[in-house]
Amino acid sequence: MPQKGFFWYNSIMVIKGDKVTLRHVRLSDAERFVKWLNDPKVYQYLQAQARHLTLKKERKWIRDSLKNKTDKRFAIETLEHKHIGVVSLERVEVKHKRATLGIFIGEKSYWNKGLGTDAARTILKYGFEKMKLHKVELDVFGYNPRALKVYKRLGFKKEGVKREHNYHKGKFWDVYHMSILDREWKG
């Protein structure tokens, strides 16, 4: 396989970063997603907090995702082909050339190893270079300083704050809306 970039392998889109490979999500990923999305340590950082997710519901979500030709959802794999999470460009607005970035590493033993950063960088490259996006945006909780640091390092700028928008562990937290433009990515 090529060292880095976008290519097709066995009729599946594969995007290779420095530390991860992104491939289309498949039905066989469903059990891992259920495990991760029912783990409070994982879902506390997600906008759509999925508690009590079932295998049936997750398989339906994957089937629906596979039919969606606009949004791009990829499984994150280590270079050793271990599936550890998911990254996506969703709510794609073709006319306005924008999308929303979503990402999580479900395998906690892979947290703090730079894999999420590489996955986000890799899908941003795909979004700006292949999808010709103008803007990628996201929301991030104030109690997730690790993610805030990663997004700033990647070039995201804060656009706004939803003040004390989420209640988490006995406290109200801000939610930051951030974005990056194609010219900022290229710069």
Residues spanned by the domain of 172: 5-186
Considering the entire predicted model, what is its pTM?
A: 0.88
What does the alpha-carbon distance between residue 137 and residue 157 come to, in Å, rounded to a whole number?
9
Instruction: Tell me the average pLDDT across 138-162.
Output: 94
* Total tally of structural domains belonging to the chain: 1
Q: Tell me the two tokens of residue 86.
A: 């998911």
Give Cα 164 to chain centroid, integer Å.
24
Q: What digits encode the pLDDT tens for the residues 52-102?
A: 778 898 899 889 888 888 899 999 999 999 999 999 999 999 999 999 999
- CATH assignment of the domain containing 145: 3.40.630.30
pLDDT of residue 5: 65
Which pLDDT score is estimated for 50?
56
Which has more confidence, 169 or 49?
169
